[in-house]
Chains A and B, each alone.
Chain A
Amino acid sequence: MKTVITSLFALGAVGLAFLAWLSHRDAPEQRSAAAATGQSPGPGTEVASVHVAPRTRERIPRFSDIAGFVMAYRVGRVPVGRIAVLGCWWWVGWHFFAR
């Protein structure tokens, strides 16, 4: 059973790594598309804007985009999403390095 559980964790980790790679591969296309539509270009645009390849699939957002989206959630003036995400990451560090 230990092998099964370890394999499932490894499969999940490989999946995360693959999605991270996909989302970063899409990132230069976002920047070049932004440059083409006249939006403010970011660092590295001069390299990325060489090609704007047509794509049939929707881009995969970066994990930090998702985290940023969740962290923008507020209840009134309280940044609930920000506290939850940063608190969760704090707990991860405590759990692995101190508990």
Chain B
Amino acid sequence: MPQLPEASSATEVRAFDRPLVMVPVFALIAAVGGLFPSFTSGANLLVHVIGGTMLWLGISGRAGRRPVPSRLPRSAVWWAVPLLLMALTELWAFLHTGDPDYPTLSLLFDPVLEGYLPRAVAYFAWLGGFWVLVRR
């Protein structure tokens, strides 16, 4: 039977670190973030304020952390298969920059993220992912 990885100790969960608090906060930020189109100073400012705050929270440990495995099972390698496929495809497309027949991932997403709703939803997903990483 496969062994469970040992987990390091987790810090105490803060009062604000609950879905009831964080989901509305992220929804509000995403609703505002969706208003700013790309290449605007507002979009840059918001992303960098959020990124800087999250990085500070993640490094300082003020948000609390969940336990992490001290080692990974060999099956973790399976994650490399789709990630490598996407990374190599991105590299292949990036090497043909300027040719519309070779779109990178961001070029494919640009038309989708032009609309307010998909942009706000993607913003929310980015914030949620950030929070998961900060809490690890």
Contact = CB atoms under 8 A, between A and B. Distances in A.
Interface in A51-99: 54-55, 57-61, 63-69, 71-72, 79, 82-83, 85-87, 89-90, 92-99
A97 B47 contact: yes
B12 interface: no
Contact of A19 (B59, B78, B92): B78
A69 B69 contact: yes
A1 B44 contact: no
Contacts of A89: 54, 126, 129-130, 133
Given A59-B73, A89-B129, A97-B33, A2 B101 contact: yes
A47 to B, nearest CB: 18
Main SS class of interface, B: helix
B15 to A, nearest CB: 17
Interface residues of B, number: 60
B76 A12 contact: no
A14 B79 CA distance: 12
B21 interface: no
Interface of B: 1-2, 4-5, 8, 33, 36, 38-40, 43-44, 46-48, 50-51, 54-55, 58-59, 66, 68-76, 78-79, 81-83, 85-86, 89, 92-93, 100-103, 105-106, 108-109, 113, 119, 122-123, 126, 129-130, 132-134, 136
